[in-house]
Amino acid sequence: MPDAPVKRDLVSVQDIASDLPSLLKRASELKAERKRGKLTPRLAGKNLAMIFEKPSTRTRTSFEVAMNDLGGHALYLSSKDLQLGRGETIADTARVLSRFVDAVCYRAFRHADMLELARWTTIPVINALDDLEHPCQIAADLLTLHERWGGRFSGHRLGWVGDGNNVLHSLLLGAAAVGLDITAATPAGYRPDATVVAAAEKLARASKSRIALTGEPRVAATGADALYTDVWVSMGDEAEQAAREAAFRGFQINEALVALASPDVLVLHDLPAHRGQEITDSVLDGPHSAAWDQAENRLHAQKAILELLVAPHLRSRGPR
């Protein structure tokens, strides 16, 4: 009998913290290959199931194109159309998908459901966003900064202005893993989760980077080498829209805030943007914006993630 497959998930940035430098290098190589028109079918014949409980433009498209570029196939599965939407358990869904496909990416409302899927699958599970993290996004964000800063993170500082939820959580972990300093400004009541902050601080001690939390956007912005924001109302938080719009007033990346940052500041946004709320048109469309490269880099980062998690798993896969 061949060895049992070694399954590796990407549920949290913590799962790939030590892989990030090589993952970013690989993503850059894959990007260069694609620009040269060269595609190598490293995942030929392999299938990725993509379960989405929420809408997506970038994540869905980048996974689908990534699998196609790598010679494999991706299946889009809306949770509404699956029996999952009629009460079939995550565990049973996981057992069945594990017999058909080689990996599954999952966009979930609840992190607990992500963990449940990872628990019951025998194939890699990739977090395509949940209420706690968005790890694939952060791989693309770090790739964007890596390109612009010639591969150097240490000595740079990123200022976050916005909500203390999924994107910031993964960013804190990712920045700390690669040695990037971060100052995160969030309104009172919207601070990042203390457990995630503690995990990021542990990574920051190892990389000798600094994490600071503040309630003041100007503190995050002043002298920053990058500024990053996300929507005030995340998917699933729509019932809190009015309260959030009140709490986040002032947490906008606009020209006045950009003027406090480094003259070469890069402005990031994971997108979709709510123009006029967390970011102004003039900044998102302006000379400092790296948001469009950042969106494109979802594709190249996704490929590196798929190679890392899926290719080694498949090599050891045998009869069940």
- Summarize as ranges the residues that interact with ligand CP (CB under 6 A): 56-59, 129, 137, 270-272
In the complex with ligand NVA, which residue's Cβ is closer, 31 or 169? Answer: 169
Among 28, 47, 209, 234, binds ligand NVA (CB under 6 A): 234
Task: Confirm or reject binding of residue 235 to ligand NVA (CB under 6 A).
Answer: yes
H/E run at residue 63: helix 58-69
Task: Confirm or reject binding of residue 166 to ligand NVA (CB under 6 A).
Answer: yes
Near ligand NVA in 271-290, by CB under 6 A: none
Q: Which DSSP string do the residues of 72-109 spell out, in sequence order? A: -EEEEEETTTSGGGGT--HHHHHHHHHHH-SEEEEE-S
Among 270, 302, 305, 309, binds ligand NVA (CB under 6 A): 270
Among 16, 67, 167, 213, binds ligand NVA (CB under 6 A): 167
Angle among Cα 78, 84, 89 to the nearest 5 degrees reads: 150
Q: Could you tell me the smallest distance in angstroms from the CB atom of residue 48 to ligand CP?
A: 15
Task: Confirm or reject binding of residue 211 to ligand NVA (CB under 6 A).
Answer: no
250: left (phi over 0), alpha (psi -120 to 50) or beta: left
Whole-Å CA distances, 212 to 101, 140, 298: 42, 23, 27
Q: Could you tell me the smallest distance in angstroms from the CB atom of residue 57 to ligand CP?
A: 3
Q: Could you tell me the smallest distance in angstroms from the CB atom of residue 131 to ligand NVA?
A: 7
Task: Confirm or reject binding of residue 209 to ligand NVA (CB under 6 A).
Answer: no
Which residues are CB-neighbours of 5 under 8 A, at least 6 positions away? Answer: 122, 123, 313, 316, 317, 318
In the complex with ligand CP, which residue's Cβ is closer, 143 or 314? Answer: 143
Whole-Å CA distances, 158 to 182, 211, 267: 5, 10, 10
CB 77 within 8 A of CB 49: yes
* Number of chain positions touching ligand NVA (CB under 6 A): 9
57 binds, among ligand NVA, ligand CP, none (CB under 5 to 8 A by kind): ligand CP
In the complex with ligand CP, which residue's Cβ is closer, 18 or 57? Answer: 57
CB 317 within 8 A of CB 122: no
State the Rg of the chain over Cα: 19
Task: Confirm or reject binding of residue 230 to ligand NVA (CB under 6 A).
Answer: yes
Tokens linked to 235? 């998917």
Residue 191 burial (CB < 10 Å; 0-12/13-18/19+)? middle
In the complex with ligand NVA, which residue's Cβ is closer, 267 or 314? Answer: 267
In the complex with ligand NVA, which residue's Cβ is closer, 209 or 289? Answer: 289
Selected range binding ligand NVA among 162-170, 201-209, 250-258, 310-318, rule: CB under 6 A: 162-170
Task: Confirm or reject binding of residue 231 to ligand NVA (CB under 6 A).
Answer: yes
Binding site for ligand NVA (CB under 6 A): 129, 165-167, 230-231, 234-235, 270
